[in-house]
Structures are given as C-alpha cells and as structure tokens.
Chain A
Amino acid sequence: QVQLQESGPGLVKPSETLSLTCTVSGGSISSYYWSWIRQPPGKGLEWIGYIYYSGSTNYNPSLKSRVTISVDTSKNQFSLKLSSVTAADTAVYYCARGGDIVATKGYFQHWGQGTLVTVSS
C-alpha cells in the first residue's frame, strides 16, 4: 500500500521560502503524477501543481510565479518550494498521487496526512 509523508518546517517567516518534501513508501515514484494541494484552516482545497516522475511540471497559474516542484527518484521523494510567502499561504499542505497516465493524472487516490505550515514572524 502506497504511503505518502510530508515533512518540513511548520513555521515560516513572511517573505521567506516554504520548503516541503513528500516521501513515498510502499511503491515507486516512477510512472505516476505527484501533486501538492493545500487547505487553509477551515477552508477548502486548492491544487498547487504536479510533477511527473520524469520531471515535467504543471502549476496553478495563480501560484506559478512562486512555485517550484521537483522530484528525486533515487530517494522516492518530491518537493515543493513556495517563495515570498505571506500569511495567506498558511495552510495544511498535502502531497497526493495522481494516476499513471495522462487521463488519470488529475484525481488523487493516495494522500499524505498533511502538514500545517504557518507563516508568521
């Protein structure tokens, strides 16, 4: 059974860069699409972007200028960097697995437990 686990700082200062890593266990990171999704406290879900194991990416246009998603297949990990953060970026950040083909990449069968990142000085 595939498991995903987010890790990274729970507190980030305004204007700094948020960095998170998702470690995949119980399966290979290869051949799948991997996404980051966030949820501000008490609010709904926002897709941030995805990366294919080969390294191709697609980002939410509203965040594109600040987001970088990368993959390290040797470690079975993928990562998120979000620059110039503000309080509006405070959220639970989830990593999630999409499908293995283009048609199925956009729905998410497996999710991490999520990690709360607070932006505050």
Chain B
Amino acid sequence: DIVMTQSPDSLAVSLGERATINCKSSQSVLYSSNNKNYLAWYQQKPGQPPKLLIYWASTRESGVPDRFSGSGSGTDFTLTISSLQAEDVAVYYCQQYYSTLLYTFGQGTKLEIK
C-alpha cells in the first residue's frame, strides 16, 4: 500500500497570510511513461463532501480560485493557499491514484483562522 502522510495535522493561519500543507507518499507516485504525478488535493468543509481542488499534483480544477496551488513531484507534495480567506477553513486531504489496486488518502490537515 502507498501510505500518504500529511503535515501538519492542524494549522492556524491569519487571514491574508500563506498556508502550506505538506503530503508525503511512501513511494513515488510519478509515472515515468507520461511524467505525471498521480496526486490530488481535496477540500472538505463540515457536513459537505470533499471537493476536488488539484489533480496531477498541480493542475487546478475548473472554478477553483487561483490562490490554491499544488507543487511537488515523486514523493513530496505541497498545497499552498497564497492568501487565506475565511471560506478556506476546512480539512484538506491529499490522495494518490498511482496504485490502481488501492487509492489512498492522507489523514487530513485541519486549517483554521488564527
């Protein structure tokens, strides 16, 4: 199994400041044949399903504000919110889809306002 580990578990950031969430996979999720990282990021607000933010590690889903960006390759990835807004309070999950035998998610990072 590919284990996804996020850090930190929780994070408090002031409005307008940058928020950074890290995700590390236990093995590379970079597929050499197409040079794509099989890594997605989701945002989940209370009582709602997760919402896809980023796929292929850095491709923003349609309609997602450009303050959200994804970066990284191989085993280390980052979700960055460049200027935190109140509506960004949520739990964020990374997910690998490299292993088609078992898709796995990180444990989640809770983002709050400082």
Contact = CB atoms under 8 A, between A and B. Distances in A.
Interface of A: 35, 44-47, 58, 60-61, 94, 96, 102-109, 111-114
Given A107-B40, A107-B97, A47 B104 contact: yes
A107 B36 CA distance: 13
B22 interface: no
A47 B40 contact: no
Contacts, number: 54
B38 A111 contact: no
A107 B61 CA distance: 11
* Most A CB within 10 A of own CB, among B36, B38, B97: B97
B105 A114 contact: no
B65 interface: no
B36 to A, nearest CB: 7
Size bracket, chain B contacts: 20 to 34
A104 B107 CA distance: 22
A96 B49 CA distance: 10
A113 B105 contact: no
A61 B42 CA distance: 23
Given A44-B105, A44-B108, A109-B61, A103 B36 contact: yes
A112 B48 CA distance: 9
A45 B93 contact: yes
B55 A60 contact: no
B100 interface: yes
Nearest to A4: B49
Nearest to B104: A47
B76 to A, nearest CB: 19
Contact of A58 (B51, B100, B105): B100
B107 A61 contact: no
* Most A CB within 10 A of own CB, among B51, B97, B103: B103
A58 B40 CA distance: 20
A104 B100 CA distance: 11
A56 to B, nearest CB: 12
A58 B101 contact: yes
B25 interface: no
Given A107-B40, A107-B55, A45 B102 contact: no
